[in-house]
Structure 1
Amino acid sequence: MNHTVQTFLTPASTNCPPNYEILKEEHEVAALGASHNTAPPTSTVIHIRSETSVPDHVRWSLFNTLFMNSCCLSFIAFAYSVKSRNRKMVSDPTGAQAYASTAKCLNIWALILGIMMTILLIIIPILILQAYQ
């Protein structure tokens, strides 16, 4: 069996300046190709905004305007939908979302009122005809 004895030299026992070990380590690091910079590495983070799709509800508003325009709500919804689309074109997602949510709310109310009016226009004449028979 091979027994080797390793001796560790300290600055006090070698009569060398106290920074000899530090210089030796720096030389070894430089020989290995590492950088001399002792500052911590910095990183750069780039935030890429994903293109969030804001629905503008133009088709729904147009359908409601043509077929279920009760109290002109769907025409107003169509105007807000166009405003939402314009805001989306100028890269203002917050404004586009605000106009789109207003258009959506107006479209829901216009659709509900339009369906109720259509049902009433069908039921009322039937009830009147049955009353006279």
Structure 2
Amino acid sequence: MSRSSQPFFPGAHPGVPPTYEMLKEEHEVAVLGAQSSAPGTTTVVTIRSETAVPDHIVWSLFNTIFMNWCCLGFVAFAYSVKSRDRKMVGDMTGARTYASTAKCLNIWALVLGLLLTITFIIFFVAGSLMISQTISE
């Protein structure tokens, strides 16, 4: 069994690095050769798009820690964990349903948390201004 080294590119000389012009010429030959009427083989790659179900667990964790008015952040976190569990089992429909519920709860928790926090700050500032005005009289 004799082994002889064969160049990677056909027409290349062993031991001599190929130049840009040589690679360009081989590319043109390959493109022109691809236009022949010989049947080619095809490869089909199936990409499953349903594996990309977002579970919103980071958003739920943020709402649980910082915006947990009425425990909506905690409930959203529970639905996010359920969605992740369903995704690991392979139940994409259930994972999508739980993720949708978690997203809705996260939106409500964020909006309600922001509104209540801003209202609390406004009342606190207004109250402290009224107290300071009462003391100064």
User: TM > 0.5 between the two?
Assistant: yes
2:105 is matched by which residue type in structure 1?
L
- Unaligned residue ranges in structure 2 (runs of 5+): 1-43
CA-atom RMSD in angstroms: 1.7
After superposition, give the CA deviation of every residue in 1:112-131 in whole Å (9 maximum; x if it has no partner). Answer: 11101110121001111223
| Runs of at least 4 residues off by over 2 Å | 46-49, 129-132
Equivalent residue for 1:50?
A: 48
State the aligned residue count.
88
Mapped partners of 1:91, 1:49: distance in 2: 16
Q: Which residue in 2 is equivalent to 1:69?
A: 68
What does residue 125 of structure 2 align with? Answer: 126
Aligned letter for 1:55? P
TM-score by length of 2: 0.60
Structure whose alpha-carbon radius of gyration is higher: 1
Identity between Structure 1 and Structure 2 (%): 61
Shift of 1:55: 0.3
TM, length-normalised to structure 1: 0.62
* Alignment match, 2:103: 104
Structure 1, gaps ≥5 residues long: 1-45
Q: What's the secondary structure of 1:55's corresponding residue?
A: coil
